[in-house]
Structure 1
Amino acid sequence: MDISMAERTQTHRHESYKWILLLTATAVTMIDFGLVFSFGTMFVTMMETFQTGRAATATVQSILIGVTLGFGAVSGVIVSKVGLPVATFVASLMVPLGFCLSFFANEVVIIYFTIGLVSGIGISLAYISCVVAIDCEFSESQRTLCLSILNTSYVVASIAYPYCLEWLTEQYGLKGTFLILGGFTLNTLVLFVMCFINREKSKNNKTFARQDAENDYNVPLKEREPFKFLRYRISNAFLDFKKYLSTPYLFILVATGILLSSLDGYLALMLDIALWKQIDSSRALISFVIYSSFTAGSCLVPGLLKQKKGINSCAYPIFSSLTGAIGMMIIYFANDHITFMTGTSLVGVGCGGILSSSMNAAVKIVEIEFVPVATGLLLTVNGLLSVGTGPLFGWLRDTTSSYRSVLIIIMTLHGVSAVLYMLALIFRRLDKTKAKQNNIQHTESQERNMNDALLF
């Protein structure tokens, strides 16, 4: 009786813990990751404060997005090696440190290092930790919905951030805003507390079980025959990469990287693009809200669709890519703010669908022990490409005195991504069919062996 009561109490505590963890991870993602994609709100203020051109100013957000996402694969490895408590503690120190150091910056180049590099690495660690924590605590059906909520959270934050950042820069100036953001992002420390409470389970998680087993097996071999051990490790690493770098995953990786990096560059210059379209500054600021609102709504759709069986994870990205391409086309031909906002909303729908469904598809395709690295690699490709899109788009604007070429490039990349997602869907179905046939053949082989054994 007492044992049954203790088990029920333990189960109730775990259920409460995982939902509180979801709320904490969502809040941290809103604070940190939401700020990354709202940083373009301060584009004009930074340009005026540091007296720089569009290309140099756009580089700030490009580096921030690039490092935040580009460090994803490294963050995945760090989380796998040191565990969630240590990773979240380091993140909770680096994010506010970068913003506080920016208070003393006199040139925009310093911001590249303080916010772009220091805070970017911290935000990357925090976000990957949130994804891994949710992946560990929730079952498959709940996990998809929770990851959709997590990806929606920072988009929701992007709705409020533009107005908050505008008010802060008016009241306290750019450097004062950096200092306030440093204090605000210190709330990342709460995620460390939650992971520290559950540190024993983190050590015993499946992510580390496989690595521990390999280490126990390899230590004697390493001492006896170091060359065989090295060859074994290289062969093992190749097999690991082969497992999660499947053809569908590679298509998703490339498609998501080129599409989201182009949208990251567009987001950095969205305010300036709206002003180029002869839209006044107040309505231009509303474009951030509309973009973020539709992105947030679209982020939830893949999680809700996965509650129904039979819907493929690669189907929604195709729809999202085509929707974004149509939105870009409308923006290209827009002559008034209503048409511009309509195009912006469709681009937001496309962006939200890609953000959420690509992550869900990657988690679905790879095995559970590879989730940290696979999701991190997805962010890394996006981040590395994002480093160049902002400066490139800004340079095209300064050179041609128009954003037409920029919009055409983004429109084209949407179309290319739709084709790649379609190929991912086709190859995913082929892999499932092949795996099913192999299982049938294996079962038939076992039955024949059993029958032969009974005859003899």
Structure 2
Amino acid sequence: MQAKDSNPPDGGYGWVVVVSAFMVMGLSVAVLKTFGLFIVEIQRHFDELASTTSWITSVTIAVFHLGAPVASSLCVQYTHRTIVISGGLLAFSGMALGFFGLNMVWMYATTGFLQGLGISFSWTPAISIVSHYFSKKRVLANAIASAGECAFAFMFGPFFQWLISQYGWEGSLLIIGGIQLNICICGVLMRPLASSCLLETSHCETETPPGNGASRRDKEDTSPNMHKTFNWMLVRRTEFVLYAIFGILTAMSFFVPPLFLVPLSYRLGIDESWTASLLSILAMVDFGGRLLCGWYANLHVTKTIHLLAMAITLISTSLMLLPLANNYISLAIFTGFYGFSFGTTVAIHITVLADVVGMPEFDSALGLFMLIRSTGGFVGPPLAGLIVDVAGDYRAGFYMAGATLALSAGFLIVLDQLQQRKKRGSKIRTKPEKSALPYPSLDILKHQ
């Protein structure tokens, strides 16, 4: 095989992988986003407090994030296909066992732990393999794949309500578990890139002459399986640490609007039916933002990290202005701005991570990034709730989220400046090598 075969296809069968990842996003994360419909039913069945039953979702989210490094480590040891199939089986097991509904501890272990682990083992390798299959069109491919979360969440809301009304919450869990088995089919379609070709390329690169160092680095960026062990040492890289801090701050803020948007609308006296439409608006503009941002970023008019910084700034601004809304129309407008900006952020933040660490380290970086970012998800909602309790107004939570996002944009700016400085330094170091002529006689002729 030739080394050039190891380059990302940037199309072809890669689009089959993108569609598969689109389905995986919908059958995993979208189920998590709409699982709140079951919380009330489970609470009634076991006659428990809302805080007790809500721990099911908390356990799912925690295991989803904490399992990401494990999933990434298994991806570099085995294949993305194998881990996605395993995730589908785990997700099915969680829902199927939850059907028995023995007690709350049972629900924590099944629809909480097993479901969270299944989502983690499905989502992490699915989003990772898309980045391996694409280079020039990576942003567009990631945007399309991530849009599955929005599309399925929009459909799952009424569908899950219908299931509960027809089969009860226990039967609905069993049916949803059966639907999640389709994750395994999607995993089968995620064909690994030829590892033998990559190994051959890696072997050839070790024998590359000293003068071809630049081309050797380019080839390393397109070889996803070069590193067969999970690289925990990424936490020592300044660029990764800066981006991880950005991830923590954004996670602290992204969970706030879904928590306080509905209570704020009730405080404004908006009817319950109109309030529900705000969530639909949020899902639709989120979907549009992901696709539009993916298309624009694919034009390569703007650097992805600059585009991400602009999107974060727009989210921060919309959250700071949202509390000024005093009726349904103004609240819907600001919600739309937030949803669209959020969609653009989700569409490109994984691509920026790949740009920061390079594709050889991407699997390890994705797992570590998810793990570190989870701390923001754990701290953000309680902190915002505390601020709301002290202020006595839900608007305070939105101000806190907006200010935190503005701070996160600052870390992106610092990261971009650091990357540009290193790039200029590498150009200065390589410039004498490029200008040197291989033969002394030609050097003499040059100065005559």
TM value normalised by structure 1:
0.79
Q: Deviations over 1:355-393 (max 9, x none)?
A: 122111111222221111112222222334324444555
- Distance, in Å, in 2 between the alignment partners of 1:27 and 1:380 is 24
- Between structures 1 and 2, the one with greater helix share: 1
What is the number of equivalent residue pairs in this alignment? 415
- Distance, in Å, in 2 between the alignment partners of 1:158 and 1:452 is 70
Aligned to 2:115: 119
Identity of aligned residues (%): 18
- Distance, in Å, in 2 between the alignment partners of 1:315 and 1:307 is 14
Aligned to 2:258: 267
Q: Which residue of 315, 319, 322 maps to 2:306?
A: 315
Q: Which residue of 54, 76, 83 maps to 1:80?
A: 76
Q: Deviations over 1:24-65 (max 9, x none)?
A: 221121121222233345555555555555544544333323
Aligned to 2:130: 134
Q: Which residue of 96, 99, 107 maps to 1:100?
A: 96
**Match of 1:204, as an amino acid?**
S
Question: Which segment is superposed worse, 163-172 or 180-189?
Answer: 163-172
Aligned to 1:5: none
1:27-42 map, 5 Å: 27-42=23-38
Aligned to 2:60: 64
**Is 1:145 the equivalent of 2:140?**
yes
Aligned to 2:360: 369
How much has 1:437 moved relative to structure 2? 1.9
How much has 1:116 moved relative to structure 2? 2.7
**Match of 1:305, as an amino acid?**
Y
How much has 1:239 moved relative to structure 2? 12
**Match of 1:69, as an amino acid?**
H
1:189-228 map, 5 Å: 189-195=184-190, 198=191, 201=193, 203-204=195-196, 206=198
- Distance, in Å, in 2 between the alignment partners of 1:292 and 1:426 is 34
**Is 1:180 the equivalent of 2:175?**
yes
Aligned to 1:162: 157
Aligned to 2:216: none
- Distance, in Å, in 2 between the alignment partners of 1:308 and 1:247 is 29
Equivalent residue of 2:99, what SS?
A: helix
Q: Is the 8 A contact 1:134 1:143 kept in 2?
A: yes
TM value normalised by structure 2:
0.80
Distance 1:92 1:315, change over 3 A: same
Equivalent residue of 2:270, what SS?
A: coil
**Is 1:17 the equivalent of 2:13?**
yes
Q: Is the 8 A contact 1:61 1:390 kept in 2?
A: no
How much has 1:97 moved relative to structure 2? 1.0
How much has 1:246 moved relative to structure 2? 4.0
- Distance, in Å, in 2 between the alignment partners of 1:272 and 1:103 is 31
Aligned to 2:348: 357
Structure 2 gaps, min length 5: 1-8, 207-226
How much has 1:297 moved relative to structure 2? 1.8
How much has 1:162 moved relative to structure 2? 2.1
1 or 2 for the larger relative contact order (CA 8 Å, sep ≥6)?
Answer: 1
Q: Deviations over 1:94-146 (max 9, x none)?
A: 011111222233555543332232111111111222123223333x1122211
Q: Which residue of 440, 447, 451 maps to 2:440?
A: 451
Equivalent residue of 2:420, what SS?
A: helix
Distance 1:239 1:193, change over 3 A: closer
Aligned to 2:215: none
- Distance, in Å, in 1 between the alignment partners of 2:230 and 2:431 is 25
Q: Is the 8 A contact 2:87 2:122 kept in 1?
A: yes
**Match of 2:196, as an amino acid?**
N
- Distance, in Å, in 2 between the alignment partners of 1:279 and 1:60 is 30
Equivalent residue of 2:298, what SS?
A: coil
- Distance, in Å, in 2 between the alignment partners of 1:145 and 1:26 is 12
How much has 1:395 moved relative to structure 2? 6.6
Aligned to 1:4: none
Q: Is the 8 A contact 1:160 1:289 kept in 2?
A: no
Aligned to 2:210: none
How much has 1:265 moved relative to structure 2? 4.8
- Distance, in Å, in 2 between the alignment partners of 1:308 and 1:14 is 14
- Distance, in Å, in 1 between the alignment partners of 2:30 and 2:197 is 29
How much has 1:450 moved relative to structure 2? 4.5
**Is 1:413 the equivalent of 2:404?**
yes
- Distance, in Å, in 2 between the alignment partners of 1:378 and 1:431 is 22
Distance 1:282 1:454, change over 3 A: same
**Match of 2:123, as an amino acid?**
Y
**Match of 2:409, as an amino acid?**
A
- Distance, in Å, in 2 between the alignment partners of 1:325 and 1:371 is 28
Structure 1 gaps, min length 5: 1-12, 215-235
- Distance, in Å, in 2 between the alignment partners of 1:45 and 1:75 is 32
Equivalent residue of 1:253, what SS?
A: helix
- Distance, in Å, in 2 between the alignment partners of 1:331 and 1:47 is 32
CA RMSD of aligned residues (A): 3.5
How much has 1:81 moved relative to structure 2? 0.7
**Match of 1:337, as an amino acid?**
Y
- Distance, in Å, in 1 between the alignment partners of 2:147 and 2:405 is 21
Q: Which residue of 276, 279, 287 maps to 2:270?
A: 279
Equivalent residue of 1:328, what SS?
A: helix
